Amino acid sequence: MTAAEVLPELPELPIPPIPIPIPKPQSVPPPSAADALTPLIHSTYRTSELRFFVNGRRVILPNPDPEWVLLDWIRAQDSLKGTKLGCGEGGCGACTVVLQTREKGRRFKHVAVNACLFPLVGVDGKSLITIEGLGTVSRPHPLQERVAKMHGSQCGFCTPGIVMSLYALVRNSYRNGKFRLSASDIEMKGHLDGNLCRCTGYKPILEAAKTFIVEDLRGDLVEEPASYPLIVDDDADQLLRAGSDGDQCRASSNSSCGRPGGCCRDSSRSSSKSSAGELSSSSHISSISQATSMTSGGKVPLPKDFAPYDPTSEVIFPPALWGYQQQPICYGDGRKIWFKPTSLEQLLELKDAWPSAKIIGGASETQIEVRFKKSEYRVCVYASDIEELTHFEEPRSDEEFLSLSEVTIPGNMSLTKVEEVCIALLSKLGPRASCLEALAKQLRYFAGRQIRNVASLAGNLATASPISDTAPVLIAAESTITIRTKKEGSYDLPLSNFFVKYRTTQLPANGVITHIKIPLPSLETLEVTKAYKQAKRKDDDIAIVTAGFRVRINREGTVEQAIFSFGGMAPTTTVATKAQQSVQGKKWADESTRDDAISALLEDLDLPFGVPGGMAQYRKALTLSMLFRFWNESIKELGVVQLSHDTVQEIHREISTGTRGHFIASGTKVVGREIPHLSALKHCTGEAEYVDDMPQQKNEMHCALVLSTKAHAKILAVDWSVALEMPGVVGYLDKNSVPRENNNWGPIRVDEPLFAIDEVHSHGQTIGLIYAESALQAQAAKAKVRVTYEILPAILTIDQAVKAQSYFEHGKQLKKGAAIQGSLDEIFAKCEHVVEGTTKLGGQEHFYLETNAALAIPHTEDGTMELYASTQNLAENQIFVARVLGVPMSRVNMRVRRLGGAYGGKESRSTPIACLVAIAAKKERRPARMMLNRDEDITTSGQRHPMQCKWKIGTDTNGVIQCLDVDIYNNAGYSLDMSGAVMDRACTHIDNCYNIPHAWIRGWLCKTNTVSNTAFRGFGGPQAMYFAESFMSAISERLGIDIDELRIRNLYKEGDLTPFLQPIDVDFHIPMMLEQLSANADYERRKKDVGIFNSKTRYRKRGICKIPTKFGLSFATALHLNQAGAVLTRYTTDGSILLHHGGTEMGQGLYTKMCQVAAEELGVSVDQIFNKDSQTDQVANPSPTAASSGSDLNGMAVKNACEQLNERLAPYRKQLGQDAPMSAIAHAAYRDRVNLAANGFWKMPRIGYKWGNYKDPLPMYYYFTQGVAITEVELDVLTGDHTVLRTDVMMDVGRSINPSIDYGQIEGAFVQGQGLFTMEESLWTRQGELFTRGPGTYKIPGFSDIPQTFNVSMLRHDSSGNDINWKHLRSIQSSKGVGEPPLFLGSTVFFALREAVKAAREMNGVREPLVLNAPGTPEKLRLAVGDEFVKRAAVVPKDGEMNFFVRIEE
C-alpha cells in the first residue's frame, strides 16, 4: 500500500514557526502542509507499510495508528501481554523489549529499548523479541527459570522487563565462541539501571544473573578492562541470507545463523528452523517454539534441577532481514503523519519543505512531551536509521591515531555507541583524550540503558535542557556542531554559541545537526578535562548540577586556558567567565589560584532563594565543591604537585555480595521449605495475567479520569463539548451520574466524593470520567475538557494546618504512669535532663509497578456485575460498587488474581477506580476498563503520611528515660481515608523498643488541600519509630553517652508495660538479637575502624549504627478485621484440591504459603493444590490483605478447613492405608456421600484493646515481630552523595512457613525503607500541585543503591545455642508476619549517615546540635556538613520570597 493511497489529502497542518515577512495586501499566503509535503510523498514515499519480525514471525503492518508507540502495538496483540506499561516515560523498564538490528560487516546486535517511548515506525526492518519469545512455563529459557527459582520475582510486574534487559546483555556478550561477561558487566556497567523493582530489594535478581553466567553458560565471570559487548562478531555468528522463501538458512553456506554456540545446521547441534510465515497486523501473534536439546554433548548437570542452557534454542536473527532494503515510509491520518526517510538528503528535503517537522530518534524526550505536556507534533520524522547520521569511522592505524586532532561523532549515533567510541579511543589515545573519558563518564550515568541505546548527542543538545549531562563537558572541550540545511549546506558552530535562551538554540528550523566535533590536544599539551554530575540518585536520574572543566597549563604550570561550564545554574548551560579569567596566567597548583576561582565562581553563579527547581544553596555549594574537586584531581593528573591532603575522588560502589541464613526446617514436610513463588515462572515468561492483561471484552470501553488542576477552588463550569466531539468518545460521567447520597465513599468515614460537586479540595481530585473506544482516545479527549475555577486559599503543610487549626476529628491519646492521673510536670521536674525537639519525616509514594486498574463486565440479567480490580480490599470495593450501582452486594462479584505490587496503596484507594468503571459499565451496558497512568495514579492514590513530631523527654543522670510528652501530627490530606488508624499505630510505636515509665502521647490529623494520604507498608509505625530513634540520638548527643549504650540502658525487660499497657512477655528477643548480630557482624571492631577512618579523611566520612525494631501484629484498632475465611474443595476423581481464601496475592507469596499450609495439613504435595483467584462470591466479607496479617488470618482459616476435611476423611485413610493416593480416599468418601468441601474460619483471640481503658485493657497486638540491623555507610562530604557499604539484618519471624519468601520480604522491605529515609522525596509546587509524579522526578532505590554487602538472617536459637520455641504464639505454624516489620530497619542507613555527618561537622568545628530530618537526601546531607563552602553558598531570601517547592511535612 502506497503512502499516497493512505494519505490522498494531507490535513491543513499548522503553519511552521519560521520568520515570514509582513505580507502586503497582494501577497500570496504561505503554502499549507498539503502543498508542501504532498509532492514529496508522491515522489519519494511509496509505502505506508511497516515490515518487521516478532519472536521469529514476520509481520506486515499497513498504515498503523500514528499515535501508537511500540508498546501500544505490542499490547494490542492478545498473545503479547507480557510487556508491561509501568510509567510511560522510560523510567521503570517494565516495558523493555529487545530489538535485533543489523550492523555493517554482517554483524547484528541486541538492543534493549523502552517500548513505551520507542516509535513504532522504528521497528521497521528489525526483529523484535518480547518476553514471550524466550520461553514458556512449560519450557522456559534458562535465564527465566534461574530468576524464578532463585526468588528474583515477587509481584512479577517488573520481571519481564528485567529479564529482557539481562537477555540483551547475554546475547550481546557472545564473541569468538565464548560468552564474555563479567560481574561488573552485570552490575557496574549500567545494563540494569533502566529497570526498577519495588519488591525484591534487587539482591536475588543479581544473584540469579551471576549464577546463570557461571553455571548455565558454563563460563567464568571474565573480567575485561573495557567490556562493552553490544555487537555480535562476524566470525562465529554471521547470519545467512534468506532463501527464496525467507525462512531457512541457505543450504550452501557453512556459516552460523546467529545463535550463540552455533547454527542449526552445525553438525554438533540438533536441527532447528526459524519460521517466517507472514502475519497481518490483525493476526494472532504466537511466539516461536524453541527446540531444547537436553542431552547436547558436553552439558554439565546443573544444581537445583535447573534446565541446562541450550544455545540452539535461541531466537535467531531472521535471515530474511539480511536482504531487507529500507524504503522511505509515510503513514498517518488527519491528525498526525510519520515519515521515515532513508537518507540524509531525504531528511533535508523534508525539513526544507516543512521546517516544523519534528525529528525523532528514540523519542525519549518527545514522547514525554506528548504524553505529559500534551504537546502535539503533527508531522514527525524518524531519523535513527539514516546511516550518514550514525556511522563512525574509527582510525585504523597508529599513524592515524597519532595525527588525530579531533573526534567527529555522528549526530544520531546512540549514546551507548558514543560511550563505546569514547572508551575505545581513550585506550588508544591515552591522557590527551581526557575529554572523551569525561564524556563517557557522563554518558554512563545518563538516563537508563534503554534510553542510552536510542538517544543521541544531537537530540540531547537540540532539546537545550539547562541541566544537560553532555553540554557542559562538550563546551569545556570547545566542541563544535555541524549543522546542515538543504539550501545553505553544512557549517560549523561552536557549541558555546549554540544555546540562546531557555530551551532555545541557534539551530535553524530547517536544519539538522549532523556531527559533533570534539577537538583533541596535541601530545605535548598539558591539559585535563573532567566532568561531574550530582543527582538525587546515582543511576538513571536527571542532574541537579552538572559541570565540565578543562584546564591547559604550560611547562611552568601557568594556566594558558581554562573553561568552567555548568548545567543547572542558569536557563541554559553556562560558563563561569569570571572564574575562568581569575585563573588565567596564574600557577594552577597554587591554593591561592583555587581560592580566587572559588570566590569568582560565587559571583558568576549566584541564585535567588526562589529559583525554579529550588535547592539554591545546595546548587551553589555543589559548584564550589565540583571546582574544588577538579582542582585537586587535575593537579594530581598533571603531575605539577604532590598533594599533602587526602583524596577528593568521588565515591564508587563495588560489586554487591551477601548471604542469607539458609536452614532446613525440621518436623514438617512442606512448611518451612524454600519453595519458589508459585507464579514466579509465569512472571518470568510474561504469562502471569494482571487486570490490564485480561483479553479485550467485546464492545469494551476505556475510561480516563478528568482531574482537578487546582488545590482548592470553586468549580464554576465544566465544558465537555470539545471532548465529546473527539474520535471514539462514547460519553462521560460527573457529579450528576450518581445520586447525591451515593456520591461519597471512605474506608472509615464516608466523606470523600467520587466526583467533586461544587468545590475541589485537592489537585488531582476527580471531577469526571470520560470513556471512549480506546485508551488513547479517552486520554486525548480528557485533555480537551475545560474546567473554569475560582481559586480559594489552600492549606498544604502541617504547620499551616496547625496555625489554622485545620484538623479531622480524632481525639485518641495514650497515657501511662503519672499521665493517667494528670500532668507530667512533676515527673519532668524530677528529671536530671529534659530534651525537647521537633522531628519531621516526608511522605513516600507506593510506586507499585502496576498502577490501579479495574475492569467491569455488566450482565443485563439480574443486574449483576463481574468486576476485576487490582485491590487489596475486595470487600470494601464490593460494598461501594454495590452502593453506587444501587444493587445488593450479592449482585457484585469482585475478583483479583494478582496485584503488581500494592504496599497498602490499594487497600482503600482502589475503591473509587472500581466504582467509576462500574458506573460507566452500567450506564452504557458495556464492559469498561481503566488503568491509570503513572502520574494519574500518584496524583490520586495518596502516599505514606508525612509526619511531624514535637517531643519533650526526660531522663535521669544515666540517660534512662523517665517520661515522654509528645504530639504527633500527620498530613492527612483532603479526606480522612485511614489517617486515624495510621495515627493510632504511630502512637503505639513511638516507644520502639524502649521502656518509658510515664508517657502522654497525642495524635493530630491535619486536614489539608493535598492528596488524601493512606496506608503504606508499616502504617505509621516506621514514622513513629524514626521519631523514637531521633530523640534517642538527641539524648545521646546532649548527655555525651554512646548511642548503643543508651539503647541498651533503655530496652524493655520482660514484664514492662508499653504505652498502651500491654505487657512485654517472654517473646521479647531484642537483647538476644542485638548480642548475636553484633558478634556476627563484628560490630565493635568495625565501629572503631570507622572512627579511625574518619580521623584520617576529610572529604569522606563513614558512619555505622545498630538499631532494633518491634512491630505489633494485628488490625490494632479495627478488631472486626481480625478474621478470615477459606473454602477448600477436594475433587473425587483425581483428589486434586481447589483452595479459596480471602487474601490477595500482591507479591508477598501469600498464595504460595497458603498452598504450603494446606499441603502440610492434608499430607499432600503443593502441586495437588490450586489456589484460584480471590473473589467475593467464594469467600464473603474478606478482610483486607494488610497489616502483615495475611498469613496469620488466612492461614488459620485454611488450617481450619483442612482439619474439617481430615476429620471426615480419617476413616477412609484408616481403611485404605496411610499411603493410599488421595484420589482413592476422596473417591471412597464421595461414594459414601461425605461432603468434600469445607468452609474454614478463624478469628484472632486475645486482642481487643479499647482506647481510654487504663485499668484492665486487653492486648493491642497479638504478638510483636522484631528485628535488628547494622549498617555502615560512606559519605561524600563534598556532594552529599553516599554508598551503603554493608548491612546485616536479623529478624525474628518465628517458625518461617517459607524462608526464601520471607527473606525476600525482609530484603525488599529494607530497601523500601532505605528509600523512605534517604532518597524518596515528595515535593509540591506553591500552587499545591504534586511535582514528583513519576520516575523522572521521584526516585526509588535502584540496583546500584542497595548495600554492597547485604547479609540477612533469621533468629533460630538463643545465645547459648538452644533452639527457640515459638509455640506460645498460637499463630499459623508458629510463624510471624514479616511484610511490614523490616521496613523501619532501612532507617539504619539514615542514622549511619547521621553519624557520618556528625564526624564531618566535628572536623569542621560545627558545634550546634545536629537537626537532620528524613529523607536524608544529598541536599540535606551536604548542607548539614556545615563547611566553608556551605556557608559561602548561603542564599538569603528577599522579603516575601519563598522556596520554589513545598515540603508538606513542614
Q: So which residues are the catalytic ones?
A: 1380
Any alpha helices (H) in 735-774, and if so which ranges?
none
Which residues fall within 8 angstroms of residue 47, CB to CB, at 6 or more apart? 1, 2, 3, 327, 328, 329, 330
For residue 317, give the H/E element and its range. none
Q: Residue 397 burial by CB count (10 A; 0-12/13-18/19+): exposed, middle or buried?
A: exposed
Q: Residue 1025 burial by CB count (10 A; 0-12/13-18/19+): exposed, middle or buried?
A: buried
Which residues fall within 8 angstroms of residue 1035, CB to CB, at 6 or more apart? 833, 835, 953, 955, 959, 961, 1041, 1046
Output the DSSP codes for 1166-1227: GGGEEEPPEETTTS-SPPPS-TT-HHHHHHHHHHHHHHHHHHHHHHHHHHH-TTS-HHHHHH
Residue 12 CB coordination number (10 Å): 11
How far CA 157 is from CA of 94, 692, 957, in Å, comes to 7, 11, 54
Residue 167 grid cell: 537477555
Any alpha helices (H) in 639-766, and if so which ranges?
680-685, 721-724
Output the DSSP codes for 248-306: S--TT--S--S-TT--TTSTTS--------EEETTSPP-PPP----TT-TTPPPPGGGP
- Whether residue 360 contacts residue 383, with contact meaning beta carbons closer than 8 Å, is answered with yes
- Whether residue 909 contacts residue 973, with contact meaning beta carbons closer than 8 Å, is answered with no
> Distance between CA atoms of 108 and 113, rounded to whole angstroms?
16
Adjacent-strand bridge partners of 112: 98
Backbone angles phi, psi at 62, to 5 degrees: -85, 135
Grid look-up 569468538 returns: 176
> Distance between CA atoms of 29 and 328, rounded to whole angstroms?
30
Any alpha helices (H) in 10-158, and if so which ranges?
33-44, 70-75, 142-149
> Distance between CA atoms of 1299 and 1303, rounded to whole angstroms?
6
> Distance between CA atoms of 271 and 1086, rounded to whole angstroms?
58
Backbone angles phi, psi at 1283, to 5 degrees: -135, 150
Query: DSSP label at 904?
Result: T
Residue 12 grid cell: 491543513
Whose CA is closest to 95, among 69, 77, 121?
69
> Distance between CA atoms of 1223 and 1115, rounded to whole angstroms?
40
> Distance between CA atoms of 818 and 921, rounded to whole angstroms?
59
Any alpha helices (H) in 822-967, and if so which ranges?
825-830, 874-885, 911-924, 934-941
Decide the pairing of beta strands 329-332 and 337-340: antiparallel
Residue 1127 grid cell: 473454602
DSSP 3-state of 625: helix
Query: DSSP label at 231?
Result: S
Return the axis-axis angle of helices 33-44 and 344-353, rounded to nearest 10°: 160
